[in-house]
Amino acid sequence: MLTRMNTLANPQARTYAASLGRSGRRPPSRHLRARPTAHAPHGESVTTRNGDELVLRSIHPDDVDALQRGFAHLTPEEVRMRFLHPLTELPEPLAQRLCNLDAETELAFVLADPPGVREPEIHAVSRAHIDPVTLAAEFALVVQGRYKGQGFGTLLMQRLIAACRARGALEMWGDVLLENGAMLELCHDLGFSRQSHLRGDPGVVRVTLDLCESAIK
Ligand SMILES: CC(C)(COP(=O)(O)OP(=O)(O)OC[C@H]1O[C@@H](n2cnc3c(N)ncnc32)[C@H](O)[C@@H]1OP(=O)(O)O)[C@@H](O)C(=O)NCCC(=O)NCCS
């Protein structure tokens, strides 16, 4: 049985056997459709396809309620892809942990409603945990269904990659379900390599990015 790290990036990681849904890879394509439109003091302003104004910024401790509200709008499938584990709700202690980062080893970017919204939501998150010994950063990413396919996953990953590199991380890695064609393509487009199947876990692919060699795409 494969043993995986139980880190902030994948706090409830477990394994799933799954079959490959997509095998084809497209060449790197037009990034980014979702371009930041302005630099705000507390993040970057982005406009979604339907005209919503959101903010891309680091997560902060006050985001607990917004993170829980955002989680409630994920489908069970999106949750399973993100956590590799069926989670029916985001318990408050876990939400607290995800919003209160260890400044030395953890980073997280969110796509959030702007200040002033009455019940703000976190609509997407990219996060990483840098192992202080190996300087390898484990990442995780999720984008709510209504904002998918607009380049936000790519944008959040690009911010995360740049921040991990700035922190001195040497490599980024993540475990992705083999059936998760969207995430595998996104990682491929960003220059990640696919490792062979993890031993004992044929449904999971490890993707890695050498931060020493890769340029920001
Ligand atoms: C995977 C996920 C993060 C993608 O987010 P996104 O914001 O839609 O991604 P982007 O719009 O930046 O798309 C980037 C690339 O991903 C791929 N992609 C995105 N959605 C796809 C889909 N439905 N089918 C196939 N490929 C898709 C494409 O290669 C796309 O590039 P292109 O359209 O420019 O060619 C999002 O679908 C998600 O949150 N899924 C559930 C959680 C999850 O799987 N997390 C990953 C675990 S680490």
- State the SS3 of 156-172: HHHHHHHHHHHCCCCEE
Ligand 1 mutation target, pool 26, 79, 148, most atoms within 8 A of CB: 148
Question: Is 14 a domain residue?
Answer: no
Closest CA to 174 of 150, 163, 152, 190: 190
The torsion of the CA quartet 154, 39, 163, 12, rounded to 10 degrees, works out to -60
Question: Is 143 a domain residue?
Answer: yes
Ligand 1 mutation target, pool 186, 205, 206, most atoms within 8 A of CB: 186
Residue 39 has pLDDT above 60, yes or no: no
Question: Is 127 a domain residue?
Answer: yes
Instruction: Read off the pLDDT of residues 190-211 as tens digits, 9 standing for 90 and up.
Output: 999 998 666 677 889 999 999 9
Q: Place 41 in a pLDDT band, splitting at 50, 70 and 90.
A: low
Ligand 1 atom closest to residue 22's alpha carbon, by position in its atom list: 25
Contact 157, 186 (CB under 8 A): yes
Closest CA to 34 of 13, 16, 14, 50: 50
Q: Span 154-173, mean pLDDT?
A: 97
Residue 173 tokens, joined: 């890695």
Structural domain count, the chain: 1
Q: 42 versus 81: which is more confidently predicted?
A: 81
Question: Is 184 a domain residue?
Answer: no
Q: Tell me how far CA of residue 11 lies from CA of 26, 193, 206, in angstroms.
A: 31, 23, 17
Question: Is 58 a domain residue?
Answer: yes
Say which residues have a Cβ less than 8 Å from residue 140's Cβ, sequence separation at least 6. Answer: 9, 10, 82, 83, 125, 126, 127, 128, 174
Residues with CB under 6 A from ligand 1: 26, 29-30, 78, 81-82, 140-143, 148-154, 174, 176, 180-183, 185-186, 189
**Whole-structure pTM value:** 0.83
Residue 21 has pLDDT above 80, yes or no: no
Structural domain including 146 reads: 38-169
Question: Is 106 a domain residue?
Answer: yes
Domain containing 57 — which CATH number?
3.40.630.30
Question: Is 148 a domain residue?
Answer: yes
CA of 182 to the centre of ligand 1 (A): 4
What is the phi/psi pair of residue 108, to 5°? -155, 135
Q: Place 11 in a pLDDT band, splitting at 50, 70 and 90.
A: low
Indicate the pairing of strand 136-143 with strand 171-177.
Answer: parallel
Closest CA to 125 of 165, 75, 159, 164: 159
Query: What's the chain's average pLDDT?
Result: 83
Question: Is 128 a domain residue?
Answer: yes
Instruction: Read off the pLDDT of residues 134-153 as tens digits, 9 standing for 90 and up.
Output: 999 999 999 999 999 999 99
C-alpha span between 169 and 34 (Å, rounded): 26
